[in-house]
């Protein structure tokens, strides 16, 4: 029997002529008000959820970010009309905000008059969770439904990999690209892959015949115009400060990735990875790798300078080195906190599963921008 969300999606597919573009399917599966995966009332992150994040490891991740953000805030001037802002996009249940604000309250209370913490989330359900968790910081936090002009820092942790993607396939016999959509039927599985009708320009630009001849039939390419548009909008709204994201992704601008002929789209449920991404919409997480080079280019087109694009391992080790160089500026390193840091930075755990992109406005020297040791 179809769930209420599946029924709604089947109706939209029928109204669309029988095939719906996948990015629309993914958007509704994750964000349909009251029914999407991220609208669910139960916990979906951590040991009892469907997947782990850096935030779920423990408070160390947020504390390291708070330390670095405090140093950046020290170097920024508050606008005349309003304070600087720490803007978190995709705050989920508010745990990262709580970790950052708790550290700042303990170690940098002088900054409370200089900045305001802002969460961007259009969902009333998620906002209610965040407000409940952050009740002790009432007066320091506010909410936006969408990004708007500000000075300060905007950051997103594992947000952009959950933006809807379009999926393109290569038809080797016909030597042309097509786009995958979703069709519905009355028996399980209720949703199946189907080609969208009509022709399609190459999603990877012009490629020589020698390359086209080597692409296997059915090769998948994914793109997320929504993620790139969000990054561009955030860059345009940043009048002074930093734009940061940490996420799964690729850091090479290759039109085709031979290591991923089926693309990177996958589902998560009960800590198990599945390629059956059309099953039970709203009941499993859907994610695809972020193309960091596309984000970098989008930010630079808006006038930002790229400061860092590197694995989370190296990024957090840089911040750790900065905390170690100054006395009485950071939470003591207990054995439990050391284990959290190791999980966040070990190449076999999260250290190389995630990459970090940092961009800055206005253009300055990298070492001055970050107040961290320069890249060797």
Q: What percent of the chain has pLDDT over 90?
A: 72
Cβ neighbour number for residue 306 with a 10 Å cutoff: 17
Low pLDDT (below 50) residues in the chain = 363, 365-376
Q: Determine contact, residues 134/109, Cβ cutoff 8 Å.
A: no
Per-residue model confidence (pLDDT) at position 221: 93
Closest CA to 369 of 330, 318, 331, 311: 318
E strands, 297-373, are 305-311, 355-361
What are the structure tokens assigned to 77, written together? 């001037």
In the structure encoding, which two tokens stand for residue 204, read together? 């990877």
Contact status, residue 155 vs residue 88, Cβ threshold 8 Å:
yes
| Residue 290, H or E segment | strand 290-291
**Per-residue model confidence (pLDDT) at position 209:** 87
Domains and their CATH numbers in the chain:
4-25+165-223 (no CATH), 54-163+225-248+289-370 (3.40.50.12710)
> In 3D, which of 189, 244, 197, 248 has the Cα closest to residue 222?
248
């Amino acid at each position: 029997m179809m769930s209420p969300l599946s029924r709604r999606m089947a109706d939209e597919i029928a109204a669309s002529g029988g095939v719906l573009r996948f990015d629309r399917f993914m958007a509704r599966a994750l964000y349909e008000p009251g029914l999407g995966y991220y609208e669910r009332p139960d916990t979906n992150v951590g040991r009892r959820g469907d997947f782990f994040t850096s935030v779920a490891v423990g408070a160390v991740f947020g504390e390291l970010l708070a330390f670095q953000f405090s140093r950046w805030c020290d170097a920024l001037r508050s606008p005349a009309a309003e304070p600087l802002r720490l803007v978190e996009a995709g705050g989920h249940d508010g745990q990262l905000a709580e970790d950052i604000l708790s550290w700042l309250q303990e170690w940098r209370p002088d900054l409370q008059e200089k900045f305001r913490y802002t969460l961007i989330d259009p969902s009333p359900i998620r906002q209610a969770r965040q407000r409940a968790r952050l009740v002790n910081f009432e007066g320091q936090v506010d909410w936006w439904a969408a990004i708007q002009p500000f000075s300060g820092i905007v950051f997103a942790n594992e947000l952009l990999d959950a933006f809807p993607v379009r999926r393109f396939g290569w038809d080797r016999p016909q030597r042309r690209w097509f786009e995958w959509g979703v069709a519905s039927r009355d028996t399980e599985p209720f949703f199946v892959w189907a080609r969208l009708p009509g022709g399609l320009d190459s999603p990877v630009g012009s490629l020589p015949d020698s390359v086209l001849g080597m692409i296997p039939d059915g090769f998948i390419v994914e793109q997320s115009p929504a993620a790139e548009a969000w990054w561009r909008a955030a860059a345009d709204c940043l009048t002074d400060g930093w734009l940061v994201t940490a996420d799964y992704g690729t850091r090479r601008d290759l039109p085709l990735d031979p290591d991923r002929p089926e693309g990177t789209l996958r589902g998560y449920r009960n800590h198990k990875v599945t390629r059956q991404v059309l099953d039970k919409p709203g009941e499993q997480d859907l994610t695809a790798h972020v193309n960091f080079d596309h984000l970098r280019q989008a930010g630079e087109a808006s006038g930002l300078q790229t400061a860092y694009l590197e694995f989370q391992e190296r990024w957090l080790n840089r911040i750790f080195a900065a905390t170690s160089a100054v006395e009485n500026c950071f939470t003591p390193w207990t054995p439990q906190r050391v284990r959290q840091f190791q999980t966040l930075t070990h190449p076999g755990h999260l250290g190389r599963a995630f990459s970090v992109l940092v961009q800055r406005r206005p253009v300055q020297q990298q070492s001055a921008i970050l107040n961290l040791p320069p890249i060797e």
